[in-house]
Every structure is written in C-alpha cells, then in structure tokens.
C-alpha cells in the first residue's frame, strides 16, 4: 500500500457509501483525493460521510452526466474509482431514462474523458451482482450468463461492457469489481433504494420492525465495506486486473431471514414477515450464491469481517451521528 502515497485519486460518487469509504482509506494511505459528486438525494451522497477528512480532500460538486465537468477533473489523475450511479432497482423501473443517463451515459462520459485527456490512468468500475439476473448454475461466477430483470441491473451490465470495450479497443487500464450486499458505516440507512441490509440497519437503530417478505429463505453474499474497499484499492494497483471482471464477495452466504436476525440480535428492532408484494416479487432474483475463486486467484485470501463484527462496527459508527443519516 506504500504505492498509494501521493497518488492523485478521483472518486466519482465520492460522497456516497462506497465512494466515501474509499476516500477515507486513500487519505490514510497518503493519497491526494478529489471527490466528484452531485449530491443528488436519489443517489445517496451525504456530507457527513467525509467528516474527519473534509480538509484533506477536494470536492467538486458536479454531475457525471456533464461531460465538460468530468473532463476538467480527469487530467493528471493516477487512479479513478467510478462509484457514481443511480442505484435503485425499483425506481429504475419507474424512471428508466434517468437510469440510462446516469449509469450508461455517465460511464461513457468518464471513459471518453479518460481516452481524450488521461489515457494512462487506471479505472476501477463498481459493478453489481444483480447483473446476472436469476441464477442458472451454482455458484455463480464471472462467466455466468446475464439476464437482468430490472432496468438498473441491465444498465449496470451495459456500463460494465463499455468499461471492458475501452480497455480492449484503446489499450486503457480498466477493470470491473462486482459487489453484492455491502453494508457498514456511511451507508444510506434511510431508504430501501440503497440496499436492504443498510435499510434494515437504519430500522434497527430506531428499534423499528424489519419486514421480511415470505419466508426469507433467499441466500445472499454479505460484505462489510472495509473488506470491499481493501479489494478495490488492491485492484487499482494490480495490472493483472486490467480488462477483467471480478466478483468481490466473501466465502459464505446468509439467508435474508438470517441477515435480519443478525441485525436484530446485534443492533435492535424486531422481525415481521409478510407476503411478497407483487412489485417486489417480480424483480427478485431468488438465491444468489457467488464464487470468489477468480479474485482469490489474484489476491489470495481476502480479508473477511464476520457479520457480527461488521454489525458491531456499523452500530458504533452510526449511534453518535444517527440524526445526520435519518433526517
């Protein structure tokens, strides 16, 4: 990690959950960090997320849909973490054009700005496990077919392909790290649009009910944000990731009900089970059991935080600043 000292880093969506945690780690490693974010309430940015490093980072309030804005920030950056996205599965079905503009056009803007003005930089693009749609083999790996069942997942699949195309066509250094059910400090805990685990955490912190649809038997990989950030930073320094896609997940899976039980036992609240709402059932992917063999082949064993330890650290972070995330 000594290689990170004095690196010039750009983080799109750097005021959001994943981006801000990357920013904190980069600052600790001695990098010079620029955050590019539009603070769209539908995208989860929060100024509280950079508390403690606000004097150490440059903040550019702009939108990735604005090509000139991206171009003005791209020069002389060594590494770019592309975290900016419109992330709601449900809202993407209601606002498909907005989702296309942010997730597809925004990614093309970034890639084309890199090609024109900073072709030597390394791009780490955040993908999502939901790109695959429903599992047709277990475990899922990076060669699994992709038949996404909501607009957000479809557009993330397309934007991933843009990233890989720019690598193969123009010799650019890009890679894709697909995440699954990441939770932890600085997440958006106010809305279910930013992941059910983080929403459950917010409900538990208010000692409210956590609603589980049906029996909650669907399996999910669960990832603590510190482990995710560790992989993202390592990926940015590793040439063997160029032009490739990786799932960054842990070794085990939990059911939705087990996740809810863990949150209730470690943070608070109580569980209520209800029948599946039709609008949610239609876009649920069922089980998602994902292999991490490919990323382990590059980095060896991944740093893994137990679910209980991750929840304890999450609670410790949110309790003193909870009002800044729920108001």
Average the pLDDT over 5-34 and give the result. Answer: 97
* Choice among 25-29, 87-91, 261-265, 291-295 with the minimum mean pLDDT: 87-91
Neighbours of 177 (CB within 10 A): 22
Per-residue model confidence (pLDDT) at position 168: 97
The whole-number pLDDT of residue 88 equals 85
Give the pairing of strands 79-82 and 8-12. parallel
Residue with tokens 């990926």: 235
Residue with tokens 């989702």: 99
Assess contact for 133 and 146: CB atoms under 8 A.
Answer: yes
Is 70 exceeded by the pLDDT of residue 281? no
Mean per-residue pLDDT of the chain: 94
Backbone angles phi, psi at 182, to 5 degrees: -85, 135
- Give the confidence band of 251 by pLDDT, cuts at 50, 70, 90: confident
Which candidate, 66, 32, 27, places its Cα nearest to that of 50?
Answer: 27
Classified as helix, coil or strand, 327 is coil
Q: Is 286 a residue whose pLDDT tops 80?
A: no
pTM of the predicted protein model: 0.95
Number of domains making up the chain? 1
- Residue 272, SS3 per DSSP: strand
% the chain with pLDDT above 90: 84
Q: Which domain CATH number covers 24?
A: 3.40.50.720
Residue 51: is its pLDDT beyond 90? yes
Contacting residues for 246 by C-beta, under 8 A, at least 6 apart: 142, 175, 176, 177, 178, 235, 294, 295, 298
Q: DSSP secondary structure string, 275-308?
A: PPPHHHHTT------B--HHHHHHHSSPP---HH
Helix 196-205 vs helix 256-266: angle between axes, to the nearest 10 degrees?
Answer: 30
pLDDT value, residue 235: 97
Give 183's pLDDT tier (boundaries 50, 70, 90): very high
Residue 283 belongs to domain spanning = 2-326
Structure tokens at 265: 């036992």
Determine the pLDDT at residue 323.
95
């Amino acid at each position: 990690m000594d290689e990170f000292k004095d690196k010039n880093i750009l983080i799109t969506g750097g005021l959001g959950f994943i981006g801000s945690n990357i920013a904190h780690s980069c600052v600790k490693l001695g990098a010079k960090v620029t955050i590019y974010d539009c603070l769209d309430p539908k995208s989860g940015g929060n100024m509280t997320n950079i508390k403690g490093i606000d004097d150490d980072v440059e903040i550019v309030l702009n939108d990735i849909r604005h090509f000139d804005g991206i171009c003005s920030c791209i020069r002389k950056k060594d590494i770019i973490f592309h975290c900016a996205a419109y992330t709601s599965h449900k809202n993407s079905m209601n606002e498909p054009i907005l989702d296309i503009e942010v997730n597809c056009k925004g990614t093309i803007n970034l890639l084309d700005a890199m090609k024109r003005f900073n072709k030597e930089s390394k791009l780490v693009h955040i993908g999502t496990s939901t790109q695959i749609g429903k599992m047709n083999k277990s475990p899922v790996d990076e060669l699994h077919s992709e038949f996404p069942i909501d607009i957000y997942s479809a557009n993330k699949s397309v934007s991933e392909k843009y990233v890989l195309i720019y690598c193969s066509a123009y010799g650019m250094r890009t890679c894709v790290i697909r995440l699954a059910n990441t939770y932890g400090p600085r997440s958006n805990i106010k809305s279910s649009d930013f992941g059910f685990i983080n929403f459950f955490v917010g409900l538990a912190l208010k000692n409210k009910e956590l609603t589980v649809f049906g029996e909650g038997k669907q399996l999910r990989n669960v990832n603590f944000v510190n482990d995710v950030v560790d992989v993202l930073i390592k990926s940015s320094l590793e040439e063997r990731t160029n032009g490739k896609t990786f799932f960054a997940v842990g070794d085990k899976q939990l059911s939705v009900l087990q996740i809810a039980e863990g949150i209730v036992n470690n943070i608070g609240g109580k569980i209520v089970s209800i029948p599946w709402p039709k609008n949610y059932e239609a876009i649920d992917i069922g089980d998602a059991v994902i292999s991490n063999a490919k990323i382990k082949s590059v980095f060896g064993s991944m740093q893994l935080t137990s679910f209980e330890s991750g929840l304890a650290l999450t609670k410790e972070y949110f309790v003193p600043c909870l009002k800044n995330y729920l108001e």
